[in-house]
Amino acid sequence: MDLSPVWLTLKLAGITTLILLLVGLPLAWWLSKKRSWFKILIEAIITMPLVLPPSVLGFYLLLGFSPQNGLGKWLQQTFDVRFVFSFQGLVLASVIYSMPFMVSPVKSAFQQLPLSLSQASYTLGKTRWQTFVHILLPNIKPSLLTAAVLTFAHTLGEFGVVLMIGGNIPGVTRVASIAVYDSVEQMDYKAANNYSLVLFAITFIMVISVFMYNKYQSKSPLE
């Protein structure tokens, strides 16, 4: 069995999760603050991939980043980056596609922290950044972990977006879910089964670990 699609999938999920931790955390914090129409709009856009058919998202990404069109052309000419049929394209699509899985739980975790926690920190002379790092972040750790694991698992399960923008290039964009589909197309049910089993096992272990962690971790004193 050619394991490269599995490694590629894990690499994609890992990078996506890492990027979303960096991007999603501040974004979730910002969204958890006072509501405004602008924020509602941004949040709606972030949440769209949850309900939008992945092929639709993939289609627009394909159009947007195609080197024949404006943005894609500009990116290719100026920075020599290409987002269609490339690994970085998969990363970009995955970041957009999995963003709600990171942002939404982290946002509600921030919102559930009493306002007085940050206020207490401010009265002790601490800046917003110090408060974020020392008070807010440590107190949403369980939600953060859950969000990261779900983001990772969700990226493993991507299919439609990847197929649209990445295609099926072995070693570059051929992730495990595509390999399953491709194997079935070629009537190679054994290979399809192998890939499927690996995906099933990894995702099952991840989901069950999250459940166990949430069950056994000490109850939050804020509840």
Return residues touching another protein (CB under 8 A): 114, 116-117, 119-127, 134-135, 138-139, 141, 218-222
For another protein, the closer of residues 4 and 118 by Cβ is 118
For another protein, the closer of residues 47 and 220 by Cβ is 220
How many Å apart are CA 173 and CA 168, to the nearest integer? 6
For another protein, the closer of residues 21 and 137 by Cβ is 137
For another protein, the closer of residues 119 and 214 by Cβ is 119
How many Å apart are CA 71 and CA 74, to the nearest integer? 5
How many Å apart are CA 105 and CA 108, to the nearest integer? 5
| Nearest-10 Cα torsion for 33, 38, 41, 46 | -50
Q: How far is the CB of 17 from another protein (least distance, A)?
A: 23
For another protein, the closer of residues 120 and 169 by Cβ is 120
Q: How far is the CB of 32 from another protein (least distance, A)?
A: 17
H/E/C letters for each residue in 36-58?
Answer: CHHHHHHHHHHHHHHHCCHHHHH
How many Å apart are CA 189 and CA 182, to the nearest integer? 10
Q: How far is the CB of 136 from another protein (least distance, A)?
A: 10
Q: How far is the CB of 145 from another protein (least distance, A)?
A: 14
Angle at 1 between CA 166 and CA 173, to 5 degrees: 10
Contacts of 13 (CB under 8 A, 6+ apart): 94, 152, 153, 155, 156
Q: How far is the CB of 117 from another protein (least distance, A)?
A: 6
